[in-house]
Each structure stands twice: as structure tokens, then as C-alpha cells.
Amino acid sequence: MTTVTTEPRSIMSTTWSITPEFTLTEQERADLHAALSTTTVSPYRNYAAFTQQVTEVIRSGAVPRRFLDFVATLAGRDRNAEPVVVIKNVPFDADVPVFDFAEPVSSKYQLKTTFVAEAMLALFAQLAGTPSIGYVNVNDGDVFQDIYPKESMAASQSQKALKEIHFHKDLANHFVRPDQVYMVGMRSHRQNEVYTSFVRNIDIWECFSEEELELLRGRNFYTPFDDLTVVGSKELGDADLHPVLGPIGDLRYFETRTRGINEQAREVLAKLDEALHALKQRVFIEPGDFVITYNNCTIHAKEVVAVADEELLRTRWIIKTVNVDSIAPHLGHLVPGTDYLVNG
């Protein structure tokens, strides 16, 4: 249970900082890349067979012992205090052709013929015991999703946006909210200053008085379903009113989209925005970076600080999965006959 003070502190930069915690050696990366390259089944056509191939990689003993030991330490991690992990130099698919800006997902199906990054994500999920999940309403159920711009959604607040994505948690307004988001950097360019920024929940709540926290705990806020979930003909009805501060100190909020239903609620959201931007920590995700964010303990954003080459901005690419600590609480929401696909 996250504790809060009764008096607010001033909004100032946090002492928390994000630094890489593990780096694979060149030999470890090369050996693991070779092992993951044996996953020849497309995860977009036969997810179950693909994950079985990843299981065989683990059973073969190909995963470096140092990496196994590091992953094992994460089970006892204080997620509230350290909600982001950065791992460097993991295997990924280099030199994948640029996808079509108009239809990047279908273009990926045609152009991406190796699945090393997807295997890395699946391998980590298996090692950590955190099952990956997909959503029927997101990329037709693909478990492996792309943070990659799409022309028709370039101005949206989704992973297909060209420019910034404001502070949010993944699927914060969905009936199945992920516990983790795992990301592998595939393509980025230092000419463009594009960052993934994070804020810890525990730092945010210290900025508010007990009276403000009580307001944030009330059903005084409304957030429409996210752009990617409802794009096209997908309809989930109207979202419910909700609290911003959850019972375990979690944050249910999407900057610029969550709205207060009265003046007091609107004022406290303005203060929340101020706190987010005062406390944020920026990470530049490079190719071969593996980034973990514990979705209920932190909030994140894509910040586009400066653009020197607009064309290169269209090709920035991160592959991600969303994961849960256990599939058991979500079984009632799964598509019958699957153990990973959320019906929504």
C-alpha cells in the first residue's frame, strides 16, 4: 500500500534516476542472437508455435547465465521505488526495411522475415513468469505491437502517433490493464530528440494534500477509451467515471484526455500535469535497448523535443508487449480457447 503525507511537498525534480542496470557483452549478445534466430515460425501467424520455439531456446541452455541471474533478481524488486529497468545490447533484427507509412502493420508482415526481437520479448516474459497478452481490438490480436507512426493516425494519442504521446499508462481505462510493458528499441536517430519519459507514482502523490488526494480517489474523472482500441468500427460504448488515484496508489490518467467533471476536479488535474512535467525522467531508447516499465507504478510519455529530420521521425520503431503477473485473474475476459487473447 502506497503511503502519502498529509501535507503536500513542493513540486521539484525527484532524486530518482534511470540508468542501465545490465548490459550483455558482445559475445553474449551474439550467442543469444544466434539462438533466437532459430525461431522460424511467425508470431503473427502462429503465436503458440512461436512461443514453443522460444521455450526450446531456454531449455537448450543458450541464455547467458549472467542474464538469467539478473532476471531472477527482478522478482523481489520494489516496483514503486524502481519502476523502470533499462537493459542494453540485447539481440534484435537489424536492417529491416522501412515500413509503408500508410499501412505499417501489413507492411511489417511482408517485410519482416526474422523474429529475433519478438523472441527476445517472449524469452524475457517466460523467464520472468509474466505472460504476454494481446487484445482483439488492437492490431487484430497481435501480441507483438509496434510503436511506429501510421499516416492516418499520425495526430492520434496512440502508439501510431508521429509526434508526442502525452503522459499515460497503457490501457489504463481497459478492463484488463497490463502490469508490465516490455520494449525493444529497433530504430532511432540521434538527429531527432525523441524520448520516452517516466514519472514514479510515489513522487506524484507526495505533491498533494490529503484533501486533494481524497478528491483524486473519487469518481470525479472521465477518460475516453484509447484511440487504438476504438479506431474504425470497434465500439466499446462509453467509458465510466473513475478515480485517478487507485486503491494501491496507482494512477489512472491520460494527460489531455482525462477530464474532471467539476471545477475542483479540473483544478487538481492541472496540478497533476504540473507535477508530471517537473518530475519526469527522460530515456532515449536506442536499438538493442530493452526497457521495462511497471505499468501500475509509473506513468510514461513520448516526448518529441526537437526534430532535425522529419522523414527519419516516420521510421522510429520500438517493438513492445504488454504483460501481466498472472493470467489467472483475467481468464474470464479471454477469447475461448486461448490463454493470452483478451476479448476487447
Binding-site entries: 168
H, E, C per residue of 39-68: CCCCCCCCHHHHHHHHHHHHHCCCCCHHHH
Cα dihedral angle (138, 144, 147, 148), rounded to 10 degrees? -90
Which residues, listed in sequence order, are joined to residue 146 by a DSSP beta bridge? 319
What residues pair up with 7 in beta bridges, in sequence order? none
Classify residue 72 by burial, with Cβ atoms within 10 Å: 0-12, 13-18, 19+: exposed
Q: What angle do CA 51, 53, 58 make, to 5 degrees?
A: 95
The residue behind cell 488526494 is 213
Q: Which residues make up each annotated binding site for Fe cation?
A: 168
Instruction: List CB contacts of 266: < 8 A, sequence separation 6 or more.
Output: 259, 260
